[in-house]
Structure 1
């Protein structure tokens, strides 16, 4: 084709824009493909974006957009325009939203999530950003999270699209009644919404109302006849046998959305795994998003126990793009196959990507327990439960761990709490019953196991356990009945063991059961298999083999210390303590017979490492006996003295605290050059309430490393508490010169300005910091206090409401909310805030302020009838503000 002919075709294509139905997404998609074949990639991207603006669920256009946007220069002009808008006005939320949407649509999901999270952190009620986050999770197949984002978008007041997608997610999750309720609300506002009528037909059909379903589908077709016609949506794809650089051709995809994949999700949500696998395979064959489909198939492989297939699928996915979820599930596949060490490595890789991935911490705990690292396993379970208090699996595993390690009372307390908050979890009642059996409390065990069977009648293990308890109580008929029922459900009884988990179990809680693992406890064979010595001799005849040399003691200890150092660097200090302790045990045994200087050096390394990790675990007092031995052998070692002082300072006794101060003075007399160690010594002195000694350590740390900002902030904090605000401000300015925008220095500088009565300066510092980190609640709290002190009550109200959106029980926010309400003469509301605050734990000093305010207002509940006026006391070192934030005094008129 010559140049003139090509130019003529391009001109013809551009004239088609005015003739396209502006409501037809398929037409814009097809126009984009035609643009693409003529090399007009930027125009193609614009056309695909137009199609998706009309129908965000049109996966054909989305896939075409990803392919077109990957070409050089395709999105440069659009992104440049957005970047220019943002450069002119960094607070242009419309431009920021458009950039995040474009980033999502061209397939850069991680960048889009980061941009949207920043928008939501600044304004938790940004409906458009919430809707975009829901679209990301829906496309990734995480329907539970998608539902949560869409619900937030609907509550924030977004348009009908969020309701439609929310109803679609509810339908895919099997919650038909809730989907119908959302659709009815949407149609009440938009009675001619064709897609809503179409989805309503699917929901009604699934509920068995076939006549109503047909009527709804007909109504959808009347409103939009294109829904009833076969859509010839064009897609971009390489010709068969062509290379990636050759010209792309056109083909027609009869099913323009992820229809097969979505149907597979709906089947999976209801527990129809065989049908779900069939639909996912069809989706893959029809060219629907391969990454989504392969991940869904890999999850089904895990549920089916096909670890080999699951592992190959996850390795293919991870070679394309790493994610915490895929690494965790890759570890589960290895765990299923019995490769526990490799599974633990995969769990750790998941945690390196997402340190707050609670399920990966739980699974790591199971792997560590399987390998015999009991203390590290308990630490992993505890951390998983702390990261996600709703993760029942982690708390169950922690309770099982406690029961195994002869602490049934702790397990019982944890299980009773779980049963109270999660009465519908059969496994909680089952584990509770087993623990009560272990404690020889058969009547209570029977009640717990009966509850487990009531919650899930197909729980074979609970029926087996109940049969044993009934037999012990003399109910032979009941024992026989339960045993027969259990044998019908499962002819083989499994050993109780710790459980791993995957995200799918939380997304489909009613359909997905536990993920089965090989039984590896204590190195025993699979349950139900017993091999005698003769059988073993026949199956595994002894073969001559080379003698494997045993490593020398020094090599084993050095390897254990190196492994412990590696765990400590990754902040897994519980595992580090175990390995340091193992190394020290080996050395104690060897040194009792043949002490040597080389062994003594290794012992010092292991002992100091163990003590250091204990201090970082906030368990310094436990290391005190060990540190006494270290200091007796190494009386002048600086690190030993610092750790020794930390262990002594952890005790309340006066004598031990005097001994800690004496150890710090010995360090002060040494020519120590480590700024980090000197700073740590200053923190210990501060714990001992010796501010002068702490200041000396901080200044020595600063002298050894003048560019280190942390000592300057610590010095400034001490100077501020002494009232030397000018010197404190100079230290903080120097710290910010070395490290601009450092959070600790900025917040401390704002406190210095606040104490000096320079509220405008404090406000400017905090506002600039919060533009960069909008989720810093401490800075936001301080800003609210400054605004109240300035008398800017409207601005303070905005800050307080943002704090309460992040944390409804935020103590300073509740106090300030009451102060602001009092200023508005809304005394009943203020009393309600302070009553709630007075009942919170760990809320000092605000809880005491609230209780004092309530005590001084005994007639506050009748404030409207009795003319009660609140005058808020002035903070002693601050000028008189319009509204004060300290304890109120009640004057009764």
Structure 2
């Protein structure tokens, strides 16, 4: 069962795909289906078919979704009841026959098709549907007869293609090629027909022509690079050429699955859903164990989850040849978190050698210097990062000035409209005794970032100071739940532009002592005594 936030992220993908690309809608439907979002999957497949009514893969996938969820059975029963109680309707009877066929209820499908043929001997759809049903039953000779009857009434690309499939399955490859070519002469845009023609040409040893047709098919529909499960031919009888094609084209199915999980993991990471991101990236390991981008992604997630040793293990999987600025930066972050400042500087400067304007490395060099008490060096690195647009450095520098009570310099850094800016200005107002302004800004922070522990702690302190002890304790309790070891002197490290503001954080050894509910209550009681007000008894949960 996916979370509400995960569901919203997945549904948000629909806004980012090309609205007129049927392949994109089909691929998104597959993601939705695999995540249990069946209504959304059906909606995307219907969009794909609205754009391209001949998109066989999307139509097959829609049938799969409807069948797997029991919805196709429901539609069939409703349609069968309506036909039973109404005068004969050719269109509805054909529709019912098609649905019976898709549900593998072949005998019922055949009866419906024959009922239409009895009423209308010129029904192309009835002869064609009957032929398809017989083909599915393996009765290729009978199927050929019915499909030929359909062709005698009307020539079309779909009929020629089906004849090609039947001849191919009978082993009559020359006639298969001829019919596929006839289909393409009538409609050159059908990717699946090019694919099947390529496969048939390969069976005759015409490998260059085969590859040319298959490449054309994949240009028209990239999803055909993973078409093996849906080929309308007996693949096991022709496995050698299929393996040859896959090798020549270089499109293993695992790449598709890898890409889906990697993109999902990236989307979750960028939204701050690190556990969900880790799950998706771990799924990628089943398809590719040695990709540098994957181990870097897993290392960054481990750092964001404060799993430093695990991050180190993933970075150790990346060879020297695959070192990127992001990778060198991540290694530098690991070293900072282990108080190995010498190696940290080495890795961060390597990141800058690889990317001279890498603002995350500027910020992290500032944190490295700051942690060692080299304030002037830290400020210089922060200034470079701020000039390059790094908001983590802006936060680190602004909080430094706040601790020094240099409110003018801090205010200049917290002048924007982000949660960090609101938080920084709120602390300035609180330090100046302007509590109402501070509370207003802290409430804005909570609205934008419901998990901002610092905002809750400071709201708790201000309300307690104002004698509003119940509200003060409630906010302090929420802060304890979110971050028991909160302290405002932590320094933000930066992994990359997509995860600015998420951490990880550097804390000096011994800082960030856990706040207990007893301490929080005692502090509130102390303030209460100072104000000669009775503290109400509240039941605080454990941190």
Q: Please, what TM-score do these two structures have when normalized by structure 2?
A: 0.53
Map 1:488-887 onto structure 2 (within 5 A).
488-503=481-496, 506-507=497-498, 513-517=502-506, 519-520=507-508, 525-528=510-513
- Deviation string 1:169-225 (CA, Å, 9 cap, x unpaired) is xx99947557447522x34xxxxx5x2342353477677424323435774515655
Secondary structure of 1:230's counterpart equals helix
Determine if the alignment matches structure 1 residue 209 to structure 2 residue 40. Answer: yes
Offset, 1:261? 4.2
CA distance in 2, matches of 1:356, 1:220: 49
Does the 8 Å contact 2:308/2:337 carry over to 1? yes
How many residue pairs match? The answer is 326
Which residue is equivalent to 2:301?
A: 300
Does the 8 Å contact 1:180/1:203 carry over to 2? no
CA distance in 2, matches of 1:351, 1:181: 33
Offset, 1:251? 13
Does the 8 Å contact 2:410/2:424 carry over to 1? no
Secondary structure of 1:477's counterpart equals helix
Which residue is equivalent to 1:399?
A: 398
Offset, 1:287? 3.3
When residues 374 and 297 of structure 1 are mapped into structure 2, their CA distance, relative to the original with a 3 A threshold, is: same
CA distance in 2, matches of 1:454, 1:321: 41
Secondary structure of 1:341's counterpart equals helix
Determine if the alignment matches structure 1 residue 183 to structure 2 residue 18. Answer: yes
Determine if the alignment matches structure 1 residue 454 to structure 2 residue 447. Answer: yes
Which residue is equivalent to 2:253?
A: 255
Offset, 1:396? 1.4
Does the 8 Å contact 1:334/1:342 carry over to 2? yes
Offset, 1:236? 12
Does the 8 Å contact 2:265/2:279 carry over to 1? no
CA distance in 2, matches of 1:235, 1:174: 39
CA distance in 2, matches of 1:198, 1:378: 51
Higher RCO by CA contacts (8 Å cutoff, separation 6 or greater): 2
Does the 8 Å contact 2:486/2:514 carry over to 1? no
Which residue is equivalent to 2:427?
A: 434
When residues 341 and 466 of structure 1 are mapped into structure 2, their CA distance, relative to the original with a 3 A threshold, is: farther
Determine if the alignment matches structure 1 residue 350 to structure 2 residue 348. Answer: no
CA distance in 1, matches of 2:472, 2:256: 51
Offset, 1:466? 0.8
When residues 183 and 290 of structure 1 are mapped into structure 2, their CA distance, relative to the original with a 3 A threshold, is: same
Which residue is equivalent to 2:264?
A: 266
Which residue is equivalent to 1:199?
A: 27
Offset, 1:444? 2.3
Determine if the alignment matches structure 1 residue 486 to structure 2 residue 479. Answer: yes
- Deviation string 1:607-638 (CA, Å, 9 cap, x unpaired) is xxxxxxxxxxxxxxxxxxxxxxxxxxxxxxxx
CA distance in 2, matches of 1:174, 1:220: 28
Alignment RMSD: 3.7
CA distance in 2, matches of 1:250, 1:269: 32
Secondary structure of 2:285's counterpart equals helix
Question: For structure 2, which runs of at least 5 residues remain unmatched after alignment?
Answer: 1-5, 50-54, 60-189, 193-223, 231-238, 516-543
CA distance in 2, matches of 1:481, 1:217: 51
Does the 8 Å contact 1:258/1:283 carry over to 2? no
Offset, 1:362? 0.8
CA distance in 1, matches of 2:301, 2:244: 29
Offset, 1:399? 1.0
Question: For structure 1, which runs of at least 5 residues remain unmatched after alignment?
Answer: 1-170, 188-192, 238-248, 531-893
- Deviation string 1:529-568 (CA, Å, 9 cap, x unpaired) is 79xxxxxxxxxxxxxxxxxxxxxxxxxxxxxxxxxxxxxx
Does the 8 Å contact 1:384/1:394 carry over to 2? yes
CA distance in 1, matches of 2:279, 2:12: 27
CA distance in 1, matches of 2:475, 2:9: 32
Which residue is equivalent to 2:407?
A: 408
Secondary structure of 2:318's counterpart equals helix
CA distance in 2, matches of 1:387, 1:202: 40
Does the 8 Å contact 1:260/1:279 carry over to 2? no
CA distance in 2, matches of 1:303, 1:393: 14
Map 1:455-470 onto structure 2 (within 5 A).
455-470=448-463
CA distance in 1, matches of 2:329, 2:360: 8
- Deviation string 1:849-889 (CA, Å, 9 cap, x unpaired) is xxxxxxxxxxxxxxxxxxxxxxxxxxxxxxxxxxxxxxxxx
Secondary structure of 1:366's counterpart equals helix
